[in-house]
Amino acid sequence: MTETYRTSLGTSSLDSIQLLGKEMATELMGEVSFGDLAFWLVALRRPTKGESRLFNAILVALADHGFTPTVLAARLTLTSAPESIQGAMAAGILGGGSRFLGVTEDAAKFLAQSLSDAGELGSDSSYEDLAKQILYDCQSRGLLVPGLGHPVHKNGDPRTPVIYKLAAEAGVFGTHLSLLAAIERVQADVFDKHLPVNGAGACGAALADLGFPPGIIRGFALVARSAGLLGQIAEEMRDPIGLQLYAAVDRNARYVDPSEVLYSRSTRSTLKDES
């Protein structure tokens, strides 16, 4: 008896490629956008028109954000190994962690867990009450709130209101986005400063409201950033800055005695504990 292996995605034969129950060449190519296909492959259903608009906007929002560490890693890897575009792409993708890109997943997980712990919610005041509880708890424990704050867009991330608008128009402005929006409304009462919801956090909440489990959401951020990385790598090939970056750091490197570094680190730790 021949052993078989189950899949709901794709198979191929001598003269046919089947994907998601469709004939790739005649039913998908030229008929389905790449964004819609990415949605379909994970959700195992086609997005509605509104969901498609929101999902593709999320991919655009996460595609590129300038000279981030992940981009620099990709460019410098290409500088070191110009024959290995896959190495440069991989270097950039591997940097998708808790500070860059991974915030999409972290925010979705944080919101999902908070909602699960809270139980049933209805009115805006309920969301705001929960948001205050969450923020006070994070403050008392010294924890950051995923999706809140941005190192550049301190007055507001321009991507966030667009995600809110498209989600509302698609009819998928659900519990995750509602709680995130409430967190932004009440955060000044807790922290005494303005911390806007960043685009990555809004994207994570929107993806959760689209029905994707939090554990898969970072994957969409990586799919989106792959396009940005490819653009950055193409620019590095056309107009390289890798050697310039390397030279700038190398020529400005300053040796310090290890004891000086250890003393400085110990002092910073003490000051942090006392603050």
pLDDT score recorded for residue 154:
75
What pLDDT sits at residue 268?
53
Co-location of 85 and 218 in the same domain: yes
Residue 275 lies in a domain: no
- Six token digits for residue 116: 């699960």
Question: Is residue 112 situated within a structural domain?
Answer: yes
Per-residue model confidence (pLDDT) at position 273: 35
Torsion of CA 49, 51, 57, 58, to 10 degrees: -160
258 found inside a domain: no
Total count of domains within the chain: 2
**Cβ-based neighbour number of residue 30 at 10 Å:** 7
- Single-letter amino acid code for the residue at 53: R
Pair 61, 197 in one domain = yes
For residues 104 and 184, membership in a common domain is answered with: yes
User: Which amino acid would we find at residue 195?
Assistant: L
- pLDDT at position 2 is 83
Which structural domain range is residue 19 located in? 1-31
Torsion, Cα of 233, 236, 239, 242 (10° steps): 170
Give the number of residues written for the chain.
275
DSSP lists the bridge partners of residue 161 as none
Contact between residue 231 and residue 114 where contact means Cβ atoms under 8 Å apart = no
Q: State phi, psi for 68 to the nearest 5 degrees.
A: -75, 165
Helices (H) and strands (E) counted in the chain, each on its own, are 12, 3
The CATH number linked to 115 is 1.10.230.10
Say what the pTM is: 0.88
Q: Which pLDDT score is estimated for 124?
A: 65
Q: Is residue 267 part of a domain?
A: no
* Residues 142, 19 share a domain: no
Q: Can you spell out the DSSP letters for 155-204?
A: T--THHHHHHHHHHHHT---HHHHHHHHHHHHHHHHHSS--PBPHHHHHH
The pLDDT, as a whole number, for residue 102 is 84
CB of 224 closer than 8 Å to CB of 105: no
- Give domain status of residue 256, yes or no: no
Residue type, 125: S
Evaluate whether residue 253 is within a structural domain.
Answer: no
Amino acid at 140: S
- The span from the CA of 22 to the CA of 13, in Å, is 13
- Residue 251, in any domain of the structure: no
Q: What pLDDT was estimated at residue 87? A: 97
Does residue 71 lie within any of the structural domains? yes
Alpha carbon separation from 71 to 20, 201, 231, 256 (Å, rounded): 33, 20, 10, 29
Give me the pLDDT at residue 271, please: 38
76 and 7 in a common domain? no
Same domain, 72 and 207: yes
Beta bridge partners of 18: 11, 23
CA angle 111, 139, 134 (to 5 degrees): 30
Whether residue 112 sits in one domain with residue 4? no
Per-residue pLDDT of the chain (275 residues; tens, 9 = 90+): 788 899 999 999 999 999 999 999 999 999 999 999 999 999 999 999 999 999 999 999 999 989 999 999 999 999 999 999 999 999 999 988 877 888 999 999 999 999 998 877 666 679 999 999 999 999 999 988 999 988 787 788 999 999 999 999 999 999 999 999 999 999 988 888 888 999 999 999 999 999 999 999 999 999 999 999 999 999 999 999 999 999 999 999 999 888 887 766 555 544 333 32
Residues 179 and 123 in one domain: yes
> Are 56 and 150 found together in one domain?
yes
Q: How far is CA 274 from CA 136, 137, 223, 264, 269, in A?
A: 20, 20, 43, 16, 9
Place of tokens 């321009």: 158
Co-location of 71 and 20 in the same domain? no
How high is the pLDDT of residue 65? 87
Write down the pLDDT at residue 261.
Answer: 77
Together in a domain, 136 and 182? yes
The reply to whether 5 and 20 lie within a common domain is yes
